[in-house]
Amino acid sequence: MEPDPPPTEPSGNNSDAPEPIILTVLGLPGDASPSTGGGTREVLEITKILEDAGICCCLVRVSALKYYGAGRVRHDWEICVPTHLVEKAAQIFKSEHSQIYQTYPPDRLQSGSLLHTFPRFKIIGVSLFFTIIPEEDVYLQCIPSNIERSQTGLPYPCLPIFAQSLLDTDDEITLTDLIDAMDLSEEWGTENLNLDGTNDTSWALEKNEKIRASVPLANTSFLLELLVRPANKKETWMRIVRTKASRIGIEMPKEVFATRFRPHDDVDPRSRERDFV
């Protein structure tokens, strides 16, 4: 079922007329809120639908960061599946489950992102959105051995798999959040990651080609592309880890906080009962 089109501005020159409301994140008028935790119960059902169809899946990007303890705001649940199964996964929600889920327009364009090209869905009558992401876009293998479960049963990439994907794609912003959220050390990186060589610039170049092909050509369209540069992975890891204290805000006493997300001697956030992951 397609969503109703957003209201359009009346014709004429009335400068006081309201701007059209495009509800790509907030949902539609009358929508109910998702369950506790931003919809974990509903998303668990979505992942079970995929798994019952033989499609391995895991929650990535902001959802994965929240699982590992970062303070991020989530608008969509981004669900990673094997690249060759993206269309099969999307078709499941378009066909036999179309009475519960509807296709929905993508959110606005984001720099360095292909989200606007991937299948996006909404629960009918509920302001909960999810997007099906191919594994190649997040540079990890979506296979059972690379996935762990939260206490609510939701699937996430294992910590080394997630961290490695961020290093290999030179995603320093997300990697910094992950390091601070889990208070990761130099030694942890040496023991659990491949720090040899540089990031995969060929992946970034290929993604930029896809971005260019997906948007109208304009003088500013290059601003949507990824920065492509070779970065030494070991140097990147060590630099971000060694500067954890410098990212702690002045409102957070350093004698109390080890990172901007973690007090000293804090437990692994995965060990806590949390309803939002």
- Residue ranges covered by each domain of the chain: 36-254
Cβ-count burial of 182 within 10 angstroms (0-12 exposed, 13-18 middle, 19+ buried)?
A: buried
What is the reported pLDDT for 2?
47
Closest CA to 198 of 162, 236, 230: 230
pLDDT tens for residues 247-256? Answer: 998 888 888 8
Report the percent of the chain where pLDDT is more than 70. Answer: 91
What is the reported pLDDT for 255?
86
pTM (predicted TM-score):
0.88
Residue 117 sits at φ, ψ, to 5 deg, of -100, -5
Residue 74's alpha-carbon distances to 128, 230, 277, in angstroms, are 11, 30, 11
pLDDT tens for residues 193-214? Answer: 999 999 999 999 999 999 999 9
pLDDT greater than 60 at residue 123? yes
Residue 234's alpha-carbon distances to 187, 241, 247, in angstroms, are 11, 11, 20
pLDDT greater than 60 at residue 6? no
pLDDT tens for residues 131-181? Answer: 999 999 999 999 999 999 999 999 999 999 999 999 999 999 999 999 999
Could you give the CA distance from residue 116 to residue 62 in angstroms, rounded to a whole number? 16
Residues 64-90, mean pLDDT to the nearest whole number: 96
Task: Specify which residues 263 forms β-bridges with.
Answer: 257
Which is more confidently placed, 229 or 96?
A: 229
* Cα Rg of the chain (Å, integer): 20
199-208's contacts with Cβ under 8 Å and 24+ in sequence apart are 199/167, 199/168, 199/169, 199/170, 199/230, 199/231, 199/233, 199/236, 200/139, 200/168, 200/169, 201/228, 201/229, 201/230, 203/139, 203/168, 203/169, 204/169, 204/170, 204/228, 207/112, 207/114, 207/137
Mean pLDDT, the chain, rounded, equals: 91
Closest CA to 179 of 99, 114, 248: 248
pLDDT greater than 60 at residue 16? no
H-type helices in 77-232, by residue range?
A: 86-94, 135-138, 159-168, 172-182, 186-192, 201-214
Cβ–Cβ under 8 Å, residues 7 and 20 = yes
| Side-chain half-sphere CA neighbours of 9 within 13 A | 10
Could you give the CA distance from residue 89 to residue 256 in angstroms, rounded to a whole number? 45
Cβ atoms < 10 Å from Cβ of 222: 11
pLDDT greater than 50 at residue 128? yes
CATH 3.30.460 fits 36-254, yes or no: yes
pLDDT tens for residues 51-68? Answer: 999 999 999 999 999 999
What is the reported pLDDT for 198?
98
